[in-house]
Copies of this chain bind each other. A is one copy, B any other.
Amino acid sequence: MRNVMDNQAIVELIQNEDYFLITSHVDPDGDNIASQLGLLSIFKELGKHAVIVDQDATPVAYQFLLNDDVIYHQLPPDTRYDYSFVLDAANLDRVGDSVVALIQQGNGVINIDHHTSNTRFGTYNWVEPEACATAIVVYKLAKALGVTLTPEMATRLYAGIITDTGRFRYTNTTLETFEVSADLVRHGANPSYVATQIYDQEPISKLRLLVKVLSSLQSAADGKIHWLQITKSCYDETGSNVYESENMINYATSIKGTKLAILFREMENSDRIRVSFRSKGFVNVDKLAQCFGGGGHAAAAGARIPGTLAEVQQKVLTEACKWV
């Protein structure tokens, strides 16, 4: 829920303070990078000093959003920051140990997010679970601050919206999504440019991996379940890496009649199997994943389950068949 007093406190804090740290969760995604850079643009526009420090590297697909800015992975020497903005993270653990240590040295934490499960860990919290992306919350912050959107700001925030909605495809896509997108385009976001940068710069290795993944397609429960797998050797044989397998579960979801899609992935240096679940509305996969010590959202969830690929597949498919 919105806390109007907190929102106003955040606006006033930005107006009164000058030195900020910006961060987000490990395993960065589009909305994570876009929201941080969008907020950085706002601070630049207001003449504030801010630095982004993330624990993990920025995925190649989102590096075009940087322009002349930098996302650091260690605090640059002699950097002053009095308050830390934590974006798109449901709880503080999600930002990673090294960044939590930095945050604890500041005067306070401003929590900007859209996850339903957000724990309100901040000194001040601006959390909107109904927003499709944290970029939308940052957009509202810009409006509350009276900042005129620049093309850079608009481009960055638009990138957050399209990645967190799967290009206006997921159930979080609402009227607000389109109204804000229209305003961002009005202020200089170029939809085809952003989509091309994010979706049309793929390494060939990803297509080679996709061939292997699609070749593994199998069905269960009379076609109500479709599942895919990636063994460790797939990465070596195709020159790809685990990041390139992101979203490949969507191919299993896309099949007519599928109620539940599952992707099994062997993990490097681990005796666990990473299992991803997607639902088309019939199964609450958050609850299904909880059976295996995992969790997530009703439509998208995951777990890391000990055992061999064959063992985990048998265990998970036996349970999953009861849910469809």
Contact = CB atoms under 8 A, between A and B. Distances in A.
A202 interface: yes
A122 B124 CA distance: 62
28 contacts: A167-B167, A168-B181, A168-B195, A169-B191, A169-B192, A169-B199, A171-B192, A174-B185, A175-B185, A175-B186, A177-B191, A178-B181, A178-B182, A179-B182, A181-B182, A199-B254, A200-B254, A200-B280, A201-B256, A202-B255, A203-B256, A204-B217, A204-B219, A207-B251, A207-B254, A211-B211, A211-B214, A211-B215
Contacts of A173: 191-192
Contacts of A179: 182
Nearest to A207: B214
Contacts of A204: 217, 219, 255
Contacts of A202: 254-256
Copies assembled: 2
A210 interface: yes
A65 to B, nearest CB: 16
A196 interface: yes
Given A172-B192, A202-B254, 9 more contacts: A168-B168, A169-B191, A169-B192, A169-B195, A169-B199, A178-B185, A178-B191, A207-B217, A211-B211
Interface in A157-177: 162, 167-175, 177
